[in-house]
């Protein structure tokens, strides 16, 4: 994740990158019901943005603003109270205990990463929330403590604490940083079908593993410049008229040499 420093003490800002699985192998089933994974993952330039400020009330709050490209993703995201961002803050508060003034926080989440698209947006947001909450509270956790909290939030969350390419094993809790790209990282073409699949459940048989239709494609002109392609191939002419064109965008993997 990336930190935006604010010398005038304005709210803490975190940029939560999308991720891409360069390799993915399911090597077995664990006794806890999760799958054993072996995957090489990289963060992308495409990101969400989170800002943190003291809450006016007695509860943490989350406000979500969707980019024009994601207007139809709101249903897939679900209600704010079920969002991993609030879970991350609650677990971070539990971890710091009485060592810090872990006051309630108001978080604004600006969504640019497509929801339920396999890009890890929710997990990345949670990792950014963990880090942003600790800064807002002026609290510290060791690297191991952060990893334990991240694993308790969700299987993909520990990866986003690595800050670059990494080998992921176990259910996601074992993270081995890898050497980054030599020279400029390559561009990546992301093609998002006009259908979303929730990835939380561990097996397709789970009734919560449902498909959520996305009503229309997102114009490329609405994506931030960092993730917009120089040219946009059109595939709409290849699809039946009743289908929807997917979202297509370019992003670049981040270098592991720094964010």
94 pLDDT more than 90:
yes
Cα separation, 48 vs 194, whole angstroms: 20
> Averaged over 120-134, what is the pLDDT?
95
Boundaries of CATH 3.30.230.10 in the chain? 2-177
User: Residue 253 has what DSSP assignment?
Assistant: B
pLDDT at residue 4, as a whole number:
55
State the Cα angle at 132 between 128 and 137, rounded to 5°: 155
Architecture of the domain delimited by 2-177: 2-Layer Sandwich (3.30)
C-alpha pair distances (Å), 175 with each of 157, 165, 228: 10, 10, 30
> Averaged over 124-130, what is the pLDDT?
96
CA-CA-CA-CA dihedral for 83, 70, 234, 41, to nearest 10: -30
Higher pLDDT, 258 or 3: 3
Active-site residues, by number, are 19, 156
Question: Counting every residue, how long is the chain?
Answer: 259
């Amino acid at each position: 994740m990336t930190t935006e420093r604010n010398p005038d003490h304005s709210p803490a800002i975190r940029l939560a990158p999308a991720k891409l699985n360069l390799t993915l192998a399911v090597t077995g089933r664990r006794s806890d019901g999760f799958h054993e994974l072996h995957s090489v993952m990289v963060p992308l330039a495409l990101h969400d943005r989170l800002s943190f400020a003291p809450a006016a009330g007695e509860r943490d709050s989350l406000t979500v603003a969707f980019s024009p490209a994601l207007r139809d993703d709101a249903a897939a995201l679900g209600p704010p109270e079920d969002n991993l961002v609030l879970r991350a803050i609650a677990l971070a508060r539990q971890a710091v205990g009485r060592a810090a003034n872990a006051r309630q926080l108001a978080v604004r989440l600006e969504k640019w990463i497509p929801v339920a698209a396999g890009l890890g947006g929710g997990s990345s947001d949670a990792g950014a929330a963990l880090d942003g909450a600790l800064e807002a509270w002026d609290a510290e956790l060791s690297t191991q403590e952060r990893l334990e909290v991240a694993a308790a939030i969700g299987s993909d969350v520990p990866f986003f604490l690595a800050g670059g390419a990494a080998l992921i094993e176990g259910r996601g809790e074992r993270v081995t940083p890898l050497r980054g790209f030599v020279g400029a990282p390559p561009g990546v073409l992301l093609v998002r079908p006009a259908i979303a699949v929730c990835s939380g459940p561990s097996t397709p048989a789970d009734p919560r593993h449902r498909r959520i239709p996305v009503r229309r494609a997102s114009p490329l002109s609405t994506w931030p410049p960092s993730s917009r392609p120089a040219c946009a191939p059109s595939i709409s002419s290849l699809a039946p008229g009743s289908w929807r064109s997917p979202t297509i965008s370019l992003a670049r993997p981040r270098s592991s040499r720094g964010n």
